């Protein structure tokens, strides 16, 4: 049977191992200053949790009572959760955090500690006594913790949406997997806001179940964070976001030069084009499609706009008027080309079809084809033969 001491010892070992992994992460692969800051924050969070669980184990606070354990939980878990949340936000915002982002966590911790101190002083009992005043202060602190996590979840979600928009307006293939860990981590941080108060106030089997769920999430968060930092993903995301910024600048310049024209909205890359400009774009795109320009593998949006002969802003705005992103548009064009190629060359394998149509490889062809058509290329060819 799993005991409380076994659970706490496991948590200490896990946090120590995660801390070591972060400390020995290959620094030469972490190129940006924001990524290095995020790693230090994540390391600080795992070190705090290692200390927290070690104190719980050695002092036996949970055995003394829920109140005594909760005081330490709030003192350690609030700053640790803040470090984790800020680390992810630093990666998303490239270090551009607002004052609210920077001070929400410290403010919640200071207010919670002040409430606990006032409760301990006013009840006239020793600090670790189980009193009504301390229980009320601890519950208020848990509510503040949940509100803090809710704020950072909102910030993470809005930043993730912006990152995905930038990626889908820049790359010619699906990039959802690049940020999937971040999506799951945001969901986990949100659930953490609910699970931590439940774990610190509950007892028995439910406490063990919730605690092990928290351990699993923390392992996933740190492990995925480390893998992301040393992968090419941060640079690719930054390139896409830089492109989105430049597209907005193009929009402002073009709108300033055509201020007498209606149909555009200042400051947004999704602005509507005038009918005249839309017609010009459609003609240029039609000529480019006739040349088969979309069959170039790894075709980024800036290169496609240059090949078409229009600005990045006009291409992005035109696609948004059609209700699609650049990634989706390229996928649709290439799948249609694949269908024509399969019909014209039934003897070609998936590798040849993928190379001819602009897909990176046969795996991308099969995944994209099934996503759009609902069947594999092989099944499509069999249907043509029937």
pLDDT above 60: residue 262: no
Selection from 56, 80, 54, 65 nearest residue 196 by Cα: 80
Q: What is the mean predicted confidence (pLDDT) over 117-145?
A: 77
Kindly report the pTM of this predicted structure: 0.86
Q: Residue 94: CA atoms inside 13 Å, Cβ hemisphere, count?
A: 12
Which of 62-66, 96-100, 162-166, 335-339 has the least mean pLDDT?
Answer: 62-66
CA dihedral 104, 181, 184, 20 (to 10 degrees): -60
- Inter-residue contact 68 to 61 (CB < 8 Å): yes
Mean pLDDT of the chain: 87
Least Cα distance to 265 among 313, 312, 302, 208 occurs for: 313
What span, in angstroms and rounded, lies between the C-alpha atoms of 139 and 148?
14
What pLDDT is attached to residue 126? 60
Q: Which fold does the domain 4-160+175-231 belong to in CATH? A: Rhopdopsin 7-helix transmembrane proteins (1.20.1070)
Distance between CA 196 and CA 109 in Å, rounded?
A: 15
Q: What percent of the chain has pLDDT over 90?
A: 62
User: Domain spans of the chain?
Assistant: 4-160+175-231, 239-385
CATH number of 239-385, picked from 1.20.1070.10, 3.40.50.10860, 1.10.10.60, 1.10.510.10: 1.10.10.60
- In the structure encoding, which two tokens stand for residue 359, read together? 């897909």
């Amino acid at each position: 049977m799993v005991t409380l001491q076994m659970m706490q010892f496991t948590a200490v070992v896990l946090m120590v191992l995660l801390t070591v992994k972060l400390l020995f992460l290959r620094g030469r692969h972490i190129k940006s200053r924001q990524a290095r800051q995020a790693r230090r924050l994540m390391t600080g969070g795992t070190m705090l949790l290692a200390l927290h669980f070690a104190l719980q184990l050695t002092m036996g606070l949970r055995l003394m009572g829920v109140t005594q354990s909760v005081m330490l939980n709030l003192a350690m878990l609030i700053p640790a959760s803040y470090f984790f949340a800020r680390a992810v936000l630093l990666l998303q915002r490239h270090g551009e955090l607002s004052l609210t982002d920077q001070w929400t966590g410290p403010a919640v911790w200071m207010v919670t500690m002040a409430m606990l101190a006032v409760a301990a002083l006013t009840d006239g009992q020793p600090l670790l006594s189980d009193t009504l005043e301390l229980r009320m202060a601890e519950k208020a602190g848990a509510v503040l913790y949940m509100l803090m996590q809710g704020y950072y979840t909102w910030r993470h979600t809005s930043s993730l949406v912006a990152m995905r928009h930038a990626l889908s307006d820049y790359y010619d293939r699906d990039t959802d997997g690049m940020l999937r860990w971040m999506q799951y981590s945001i969901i986990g941080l949100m659930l953490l806001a609910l699970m931590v108060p439940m774990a610190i106030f509950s007892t028995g089997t439910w406490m063990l179940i919730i605690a092990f769920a928290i351990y699993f999430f923390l392992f996933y968060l740190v492990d995925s964070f480390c893998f992301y930092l040393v992968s090419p993903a941060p640079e690719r995301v930054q390139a896409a976001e830089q492109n989105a910024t430049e597209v907005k600048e193009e929009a402002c310049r073009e709108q300033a030069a055509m201020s007498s024209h209606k149909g555009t909205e200042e400051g947004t890359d999704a602005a509507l084009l005038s009918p005249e400009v839309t017609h010009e774009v459609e003609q240029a795109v039609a000529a480019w499609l006739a040349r088969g320009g979309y069959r170039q593998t790894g075709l980024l949006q800036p290169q496609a706009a240059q090949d078409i002969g229009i600005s990045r802003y006009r291409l992005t705005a035109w696609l948004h008027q059609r209700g699609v992103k650049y990634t989706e548009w390229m996928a649709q064009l290439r799948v249609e080309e694949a269908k024509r190629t399969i019909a014209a060359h039934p003897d070609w394998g998936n590798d040849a079809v993928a190379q001819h149509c602009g897909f990176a490889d046969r795996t991308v062809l099969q995944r994209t084809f099934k996503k759009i058509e609902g069947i594999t290329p092989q099944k499509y060819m069999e249907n043509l033969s029937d």
